[in-house]
Amino acid sequence: MPSKSRRITKKILKHELVPEHRILSLEEAVEVLRRYNVKPWNLPQISINDPVIKLLGGKPGDIVEIRRRSPTGGESVAYRIVVPF
Amino acid sequence: MSVYDNESHVIKGIKFGVLPPHEIIRMAKVTVIRDAIYEADGSPVAGGLRDPHFGAIEPGERCPVCGNTRDTCPGHFGKIDLARPVIVPHYGDALHGILQATCRNCGRILIPTDRIRYLTAIKERLKKRWPKLADTFVEEVKREAAARMECPHCGARQFKIRFIKPFTFYEEHPEGERRLNPIDVRERVEKTIDEDLVLLGVDPKYSRPEWMIITSLPVPPLSVRPSITLETGYRAEDDLTHALAEIVRQNERLKNFLISNAPETMIEDAWLTLQHVVASYIDNELPNTYQLTHRRKRALKTLAQRLKGKEGRLRGNLSGKRVNYSARTVISPDPMISVNEVGVPVEIAKILTVPIMVTPYNIEEARRYVLNGPDKWPGATYVYKARNGKKIDLRYIRNHKQLAEGLEVGDIVERHLIDGDIVLFNRQPSLHRMSILGHIVRVMPYKTFRLNPLVCPPYNADFDGDEMNLHVPRLYEAMVEAKELLLVEKHILTPRYGGPIIGGRQDYISGAYLLTVKTSLFTEEEVGQILAAAGYKGPLPEPAILKPRKLWTGKQLVSLFLPEDLDFKGKSKINAGSLKCGSEDCFHDSYIIVSGGKLLMGVLDKNAIGAEQPENLLHIIALEYGVSKARLLLDTLFKGFIRALEMRGLTMALDDIEIPEEAKEEIMGMVDEYKEKVAQLIRDYEEGRLEVIPGRTPEESLELKIIGLLQELREKAGQVAVSHMDPFNDVFIMARTGARGGEVNITQMAAMLGQQTVRGKRIRRGFRKRTLPHFKENDLSPEARGFVRGNFRDGLRPTEVFFHAAGGREGLVDTAVKTSQSGYMQRRLINALQDLVVSYDGTVKDAWGNIIQFKYGEDGVDPTLSYHGDGVKIDRIIQRVAKKNGDRR
Ligand SMILES: [Mg+2]
Ligand SMILES: [Zn+2]
Ligand SMILES: [Zn+2]
Ligand SMILES: [Zn+2]
């Protein structure tokens, strides 16, 4: 169990090293899986214990869209599926 | 269904489990009870490690088990019945996990019944689609169970179990630790029930935990541990046999103690010894065990040692094996062959062969090969007759003529390697994909492989004794693949940094410079020589100078080979120092302008035609006109560079690095000046007046300042030396054009070596408080701490020689250490990345279809086709479009 003394606050979402996360709606999630022609378990995973996922209230099975700055590609988009641990 | 029937079988997967005791007993055809191997008369001991029941090995011998002779007997397992059970060391961790998670009394998992059902359901669901997650889930369950100190099933109190690798368990009672011997461990894990084990990640059908503790040790058949007869007639047994003999010895000792009711401590001791010996039989490099050795010396190679490491079964025999149709010899340069070619000695061409199917179209050719036979190139070594499927060895056929005439369509002729065949050529270490390239064979006399020096960079080869390997593809698929994918010209561009990896080096660069420099004019005869060497067949351009005689510039000659609409602008390598010039109207000829395929201005040097120089002329041509155009340039123009260089000659002598007396005096003056500066720093330091660099001690500050000063001195000395050099001094040409060496090398030869360092510091090691006995203790002056003011031309003072050697040694050690470390890193990286694939939709996936990257490199750019990493070079597009529009207007 993580210690309760350190609370995670919304502050971390503003940190420059924390990229923008967004939980996709069911329709969007299905569209992502269709676009890449993959099954959910083929996606990269993100833990439900991840601080950002906790703040956003992600549940196992949710797909998150992560937009981040990339040294080669300008802005790059990645999708991760939330897993229970 | 038998494996030998004609049905095809598809392997869906491989399941590993623990070999169960009943299986071991069923397999065993003999029980070994004696450690002696042979009787006095040389026959194998019954019940020994060479008992005939292990299988037939001698010629003519019949196997007492299966009745076969040695050719057909598969060999049979035996067993050793251990007097007391022992733990198989590699299962220690697994046993530890199960012991901790289950009750010491009733053997149930330490989780309440309804929760077991709940967790099992989750685990089964995960296992289907998320096998990795199922593994971490099992770890979570284990942790949860181990944390419970009271059994929810029977209420018994639990204790922590401590495990010392590889096979010792302790139970931590409040009153002290208690050792669990293998019997205790087995009794506990025997009580676990199958349903609980499933939740702990064990498949009880294939791996019951009590099987991890053995009382019957399988003994492999003799084919696994063959004995060899030495020339002296002595028999040498395999290491495994020796290890097994030791197990039998220790087992018999323990048995005797048990029978004779020996004291408990002696039994315990013998039992532990048996445990150690069995562990070493499985893995002789375990920590905390005794190694089995050959008469106290060499450690025995036991089971794990056969599999592990570079020479082990996996890396040595399965991932990599020795192959036929390959050759290895020394390489030497041949600038006259194409970069796509490789020179193969006739001797090798007569051994390496390619099978050709005889058709109506090549039957005459095939007949010629057969007629020549195996010894005369181009001949053949074997003929496979389609008629009867027989293989005819031409070495033992007297009448080649008859065989040649009898050749029929459908026969296969194993012919010698000939010109035009494609082969794979390789130099170790194979660090990137360009370490194996496809070359077209060119059969030549003498005994070395010939390589165009332009292909040295991708192989990182030189000709100081390097050897390379050659492999012959023997199937049409393989030949086509080699030609289409591996041919040298398809690898002029590298994905490593987005530039040409193949290109000029050394003499090519000096030659290009001397050909294109403004002062070079060539007579008609010289032009003829150069163009002939380059294989030019067109008309001569108008000479640049008509009177008193016709003269051509090198730039005119180069332009003959460039694509007609090529435009290029860029700085030369010589655009530095006193020839520095940023603008396009360069007076020094150091700014390259190619317009409409004509080299108008600037010399060609490393920056234009060099290997591993991204965005140079060669790179642009390869990208925009295709790699075969670039290859054509390498095979034509570059030969012209060499010819031009040969006509002038390029060499170096002592007077090339000679500088005039007044320059030497100037440098001496500078040395004195800087020595005084350093002395002043030292005085400041001693009197405590030295300005300390923030974050540094006074000593460090002093050292840094001294190093800074002396570096400045060397740079200044170098500038003095260079400023006195004739620009057309051969050494200086090489340095300026980037052909070989740099300003540092010229400085060190002509002016001074400068400060020698070890680990970035001035030299301080050696004697007590001083570097050499020539100096007083604690002398901080430059000359006592590795400053060399001598140079290579005039020679070094004795003390300077020692300092130079100390600095030089560090470099050698560094390279040795770095290559081994980066080699290991390379191996691990490749193992991790080898099955990644870029799919057609641009995603990077592993072998299971898992997405690794949503867009390759996050920008989807193929670095091979990029401009030094950039997918698009906007300047060039604008340039081209502007020019096109200009043309139209
Ligand atoms: Mg070498
Ligand atoms: Zn047999
Ligand atoms: Zn219990
Ligand atoms: Zn200039």
The CATH number of the domain where B350 resides is what? 2.40.40.20
- What pLDDT shows up at residue B570? 81
Which residues in chain B have their CB less than 8 angstroms from residue A84's CB? 133
CA angle at B214 for the pair B209 and B217, rounded to the nearest 5°: 140
Q: In this model, does residue B537 exceed pLDDT 50?
A: yes
Within a domain: residue A55?
yes
Tell me, yes or no, whether B479 and B433 share the same domain.
Answer: yes
Q: What is the pLDDT of residues B252-261, one digit of tens each?
A: 999 999 999 9
C-alpha to C-alpha distance for A81 and A62, rounded to whole angstroms: 6
Mapping DSSP to helix (H, G, I), strand (E, B) and coil, where does residue B42 land? coil
Tell me, yes or no, whether B529 and B481 share the same domain.
Answer: no
Q: What is the pLDDT of residues B73-105, one digit of tens each?
A: 999 999 999 999 999 999 999 999 999 999 999
User: Of B767, B799, B831, at which residue does a domain stop?
Assistant: B799
Considering chain B, what percentage of its residues have pLDDT values greater than 70? 98
Say whether pTM exceeds 0.90.
Answer: no
Is the CB of residue B464 less than 8 Å from the CB of residue B420?
A: no
C-alpha to C-alpha distance for B223 and B68, rounded to whole angstroms: 15
Tell me, yes or no, whether B596 and B740 share the same domain.
Answer: no
Within a domain: residue A3?
no
- What pLDDT shows up at residue B603? 87
Average pLDDT rounded to a whole number, residues B53-71: 90
Tell me how far the alpha carbon of residue B150 lies from the centroid of ligand 3, in angstroms: 8
Within a domain: residue B382?
yes
The token pair that represents B637 in the structure block = 């123009």
- What pLDDT shows up at residue B22? 95
Tell me, yes or no, whether B142 and B235 share the same domain.
Answer: no
Considering chain B, what percentage of its residues have pLDDT values greater than 90? 60
Give the residue numbers spanning the domain of B524.
507-648
Tell me, yes or no, whether B627 and B546 share the same domain.
Answer: yes
Tell me how far the alpha carbon of residue B37 lies from the centroid of ligand 2, in angstroms: 19
DSSP notation for B525-593: HHHHHHHHHTT--SPPPPPSB-SSS-BEEHHHHHHTTS-TT--EEEE-TT-SGGG---SSS-TTS-EEE
A73–B848 CB contact, under 8 Å: no
* Element housing B851 (H / E): strand B851-853
Q: Considering only the beta carbons, identify the residue of A43, A72, A84 that sits closest to B851.
A: A43
Which residues in chain A have their CB less than 8 angstroms from residue B869's CB? 72
Which residues in chain A have their CB less than 8 angstroms from residue B850's CB? 41-44
Within a domain: residue B834?
no
Distance from CA of B116 to the nearest CA of A (A): 18
A44–B852 CB contact, under 8 Å: yes
Q: What is the pLDDT of residues B195-221, one digit of tens each?
A: 999 999 999 999 999 999 999 999 999
pLDDT tier, B336 (very low <50, low <70, confident <90, very high otherwise) = very high
Tell me how far the alpha carbon of residue B156 lies from the centroid of ligand 3, in angstroms: 5
Average pLDDT, chain B: 90
C-alpha to C-alpha distance for B805 and B786, rounded to whole angstroms: 10
Which residues in chain B have their CB less than 8 angstroms from residue A41's CB? 129-130, 850
CATH number at A25 reads 3.90.940.20
CA distances in angstroms from B594 to A28, B584, B585, B873, listed in the order given:
53, 12, 13, 18
Within a domain: residue B585?
yes
Q: What is the pLDDT of residues A35-77, one digit of tens each?
A: 999 998 899 999 999 999 999 999 989 999 999 988 877 889 9
Within a domain: residue A8?
no
Within a domain: residue B817?
no
The sheet with strand B568-571 has its strands ordered as B568-571, B591-595, B598-601
Tell me, yes or no, whether B337 and B467 share the same domain.
Answer: yes
Tell me, yes or no, whether B668 and B764 share the same domain.
Answer: yes
pLDDT tier, A85 (very low <50, low <70, confident <90, very high otherwise) = confident
Tell me, yes or no, whether B603 and B666 share the same domain.
Answer: no
B851–A42 CB contact, under 8 Å: yes
pLDDT tier, B327 (very low <50, low <70, confident <90, very high otherwise) = very high
Q: What is the pLDDT of residues B579-620, one digit of tens each?
A: 677 666 777 788 888 888 899 888 888 888 888 888 888 998
Q: Domains in chain B: how many in total?
A: 5
Q: In this model, does residue B1 exceed pLDDT 60?
A: no
Tell me, yes or no, whether B640 and B698 share the same domain.
Answer: no
Within a domain: residue A59?
yes
Within a domain: residue A45?
yes
B854 in A contact zone (CB under 8 Å)? yes
Within a domain: residue A13?
no
Tell me, yes or no, whether B277 and B414 share the same domain.
Answer: no
Distance from CA of B866 to the nearest CA of A (A): 12
User: Of B648, B675, B703, at which residue does a domain stop?
Assistant: B648
Interface confidence, given as ipTM, is 0.92
Q: Domains in chain A: how many in total?
A: 1
Within a domain: residue A2?
no
Tell me, yes or no, whether B349 and B272 share the same domain.
Answer: no
Q: Rg of the Cα trace of chain B?
A: 38
C-alpha to C-alpha distance for B123 and B201, rounded to whole angstroms: 9
User: Of B774, B799, B824, at which residue does a domain stop?
Assistant: B799
Within a domain: residue A29?
yes
CA distances in angstroms from B685 to B176, B543, B676, B679, B694, listed in the order given:
63, 69, 14, 10, 15
- What pLDDT shows up at residue B565? 86
List phi, psi (to 5°) of B509.
-75, -45
Average pLDDT rounded to a whole number, residues B555-563: 92
Tell me, yes or no, whether B768 and B738 share the same domain.
Answer: yes
CATH number at B780 reads 1.10.132.30
B133 in A contact zone (CB under 8 Å)? yes
Within a domain: residue B127?
yes
C-alpha to C-alpha distance for A35 and A33, rounded to whole angstroms: 6
Within a domain: residue B31?
no
Nearest chain B alpha carbon to A68: B858
Tell me how far the alpha carbon of residue B290 lies from the centroid of ligand 1, in angstroms: 44
Give the residue numbers spanning the domain of A36.
19-83
Which residues in chain A have their CB less than 8 angstroms from residue B860's CB? 73
The sheet with strand B168-173 has its strands ordered as B160-164, B168-173, B176-180
Q: What is the pLDDT of residues B102-129, one digit of tens each?
A: 999 999 999 999 999 999 999 988 888 7
Q: In this model, does residue A2 exceed pLDDT 80?
A: no
